[in-house]
Amino acid sequence: MENMKDAFGQEIWAHFKGKDSFEIIERDDGYFDASSGAKVYFSDYGDWPSIERRAMAFAKGRVLDAGCGAGRHSLYLQGKGLDVTGIDNSPLAVKVCKLRGLKRVRLMSITQVDFNSNSFDTIIMLGNNFGLFGSEKRARWLLRKFYRMTSSDATIIAESND
């Protein structure tokens, strides 16, 4: 029954099982919309927006995909030979990633990240996941954590809406 609280995961799981699923987006600023469906979370590299395709060229070494969803970016980079770890706070999204072949994926909120120093060379936060920081204060705290767990020349690849 715990998965009933996992709305995003339910959307991902339904699509994975071949059913139609959509997101309803409602923000604090009054914005309200319906998504075009979960298929975007499963899209192939050639169907990604050009900015995401170009961003993949900057990923290197050991990669942390923060908010990996159904794993499209992680699986692509894993297929290119990179050492990828995906994290997501959705149990069903993590399950789908595992079923799709992502070797390393963990059920974890972005605020729970606590990897050893020098664990990653790249952190990706695509799909507007830079917004997971939530606030300037939390962003500073999380960026300090990221700094401690990445190599000296690490890269963060992120996107967000203003």
> What are the pLDDT digits (tens) for 72-92?
999 999 999 999 999 999 999
Q: Taking the CB of residue 156, how many other CB atoms lie within 10 A of it?
A: 17
pTM reported for the whole predicted model: 0.91
> What are the pLDDT digits (tens) for 7-50?
889 999 999 999 988 778 787 888 888 877 789 999 999 999 99
Q: What local confidence, expressed as pLDDT, does residue 3 receive?
A: 61
d(CA 111, CA 84): 19
d(CA 18, CA 24): 19
Q: What local confidence, expressed as pLDDT, does residue 162 receive?
A: 65
d(CA 85, CA 135): 25
Q: How many residues does the chain have?
A: 162
d(CA 98, CA 100): 5
Q: Which stretches of the chain are assigned E, i.e. beta strand? A: 24-26, 32-34, 62-66, 83-88, 105-107, 120-125, 150-158
